Every structure is written in structure tokens, then in C-alpha cells.
Amino acid sequence: MAGSNYPLTIRREDEQMVREAAKQINNRFYEFRERYRDLSTESIMTMVAYLFALEALRQKARNDTMPYADRIAELTTLLDDYFREQ
């Protein structure tokens, strides 16, 4: 990534995903390198890491099902109470 190699030990079934991750990092890195020519490699990699972390947090927030699970539990309790009264 960014012209450097990083030795990793990964499972065979994860190889394609690891290669795709490196490709995405390189794409962002070279995109920023073109846009911010005065920045160091370390600064650009920091920006890339920040962007990926931000995207991961957004995705996590989008997939947070806990509020729905809590509401389902409330409704289940209400239904249980209702049917016990009947």
C-alpha cells in the first residue's frame, strides 16, 4: 500500500478481501496524493485511515438494530400483558 509492502498472515479464504482492501487504500491514497501534493506520505495515509474509519462508523450506525430490538421487546410485553388479561 502506498508503495510499501506489509507482511500479513491471513487465512486463504480472506485473501481476496485483503487484496481488495489494499486496492481501495491505494486508490484513495493516490487520489489524495494528486490533490494534496505538499503533504507527506504519512499525512496522506492518516487522511485515508480517517476516511475509512468514518465510513466504517457510518455503516455501523446504519446497521444498528438495537433500537428496533428494544421496541420489539416493548411491543411483545404489551401484547403478552393484553393476552393475559383476555
Going from N- to C-terminal start, the domains of the chain cover 12-85
Cα–Cα distance measured from residue 57 to residue 64, given in angstroms and rounded to the nearest whole number: 10
Residue 78, classed as helix, strand or coil, is helix
> What pLDDT, on the 0 to 100 scale, is given for residue 39?
95
Interval 14-49: pLDDT, tens: 999 999 999 999 999 999 999 999 999 999 999 999
User: What is the chain's mean pLDDT, rounded?
Assistant: 89
**Cα dihedral 9, 19, 54, 6 sign:** positive
Closest of 13, 17, 15 to residue 25, by C-alpha? 17
- Helix segments in the chain, DSSP class H: 15-35, 41-62, 66-85
**Percent of the chain with pLDDT strictly greater than 90:** 55
